[in-house]
Structure 1
């Protein structure tokens, strides 16, 4: 097992493009660590630098305290599973799993022992003499994983290994990967753009955007306390709702909703602001049926339902609000892709319990939200304001 440390690791290509800038973090011995972010943010490049497929432009990569920048991939004792299965079609499952041991000139009895042990862990024992062409996608991915773990590496790296699978197989493989990590305890670095994979698999996550690490933390920390607009908009599906609110006499004024409320406690205004960006997660809305549902902390407004998506146990309710106040919000365009102007319609999504709420298109509903559930962000920097 091993710990992995990155100290201001940067990758700049010959054309001047900076793929990774000053990446610094430590993966603890035995930790399941996730790199997550949108396509093109630099996740795979960072992974390839750690395993040695890409050279670093600057910074240090250390394993158990020893710098490994100068080592070839074969000397780093790491195993990488790519997005594609990359199996040898003419070889059996047994031969595919054994291949790295054969190349390392491991003795035949040891190869047999380790291949059979790995196959048992991955439930591939009955398929050892089969060729890849008759295997399902999930079985092929297990063979690719087996080929990696049979080496007993210090660090196990996976580059979007479930992207080629359908939804059912992805769910199944997520469970299998979690069980495998629990059983082996190998330090694991996993790259994905799928936040569901990241939230369900990772002990800790690092969120990247345009080559820069935005925030590192547990799934709970990143979801409940996003450090900026990008993290807030990236984590969660459907995404967090955003709109501006004026600040008047220590009150937040929501012009699209015709509401105002006290500014939530623990808000850090290190400099005066005329307005803030407010975020509300879809699941933090409630449907109120009468005045008794309301409390001092609950803010309510009436809205007409534009459309409804029924997902079995829950409803996604879409409402559209006319924007009466929308200052220069270039930060929203940059960080969450929300480009609006005064007079446009703003779509707000509420996630409701379908077992207790019946809402149809065209209905007028009273929605409420708790002010303690609000997320406030600086409109100039995008940084979180609530401490």
Structure 2
């Protein structure tokens, strides 16, 4: 049974998942006078939960692209602006945005950024230092913005934004908890519905349907069957005695649940039980080091020590990362393992409200891909594992 949960919606600044003084302090430390956010996830966060449904799954429109822009002037929240698509005027009529300046006058990246540039000039930031998201600003949009503000200096503020999102509020954590629970239930239903001869394509489609039925936005399914380590969809069929690794991200009102669970077709044998227990021991060793004041480095070291104790250590791997509105965000705990970024938060003490994804993967040479991935949050006194059920073998009837 699903727990009813509404999307975040900030009707006023008091409802936002961040504080203006925290944003001001971060911008002052970075030497920024203004911020222009254009990524869908950061615009959603800064607005307090809103995302325009028409462009939720696409960007292209006509000869340009949708480019929402949130503009914030340091120390002057009363000038905050949202530069939106023309169709968003209807969204405003249903549930008015809290921003003092709402400009639903745009269709593409160039006209949006021209309007942003003109607004910043009006606000006295013509020669200031402006932060933007370099990875989420198309060249024609940046050319339009910098052309409108030839005396301004521009700097990438992407890291500032991800650090602002690092500590989650209770409503954000509630969404992550519920997203994880719904993914777990979807996985159990999917595994139990499969049988001998069910293909990977069919399993992935069943999971998509199960997640959609639970009001999740299906994002992906990384799936392996049998001895294969290949995690892509195919016509490969599941056979009696084989394992299934099912790893999926489902989105609930913008927040991503991401776990991996294991199935087996028929009762698991002793070797499979030992293999999964070895993976679980690494997870538990890492969990034991997740508490306020501990660090990612301590957690990783504990997981790796336990990993090396196992008989299949040569085939095992441990990984941890932050998550929330996107699947890899602060805290950043490991460098280039496997995703290409720096583990800049490895020695930063854990704080309540941080969210971690903790995962141990064994690529066994004969039994296949065995993995557990869990979502863990930092609490005031320790930690909580979201979706902590169904961590053993989920058994499907081969007939």
TM-score by length of 2: 0.29
Decide which structure has the larger Cα Rg and report it.
1
Query: Which is strand-richer, 1 or 2?
Result: 1
TM-score by length of 1: 0.30
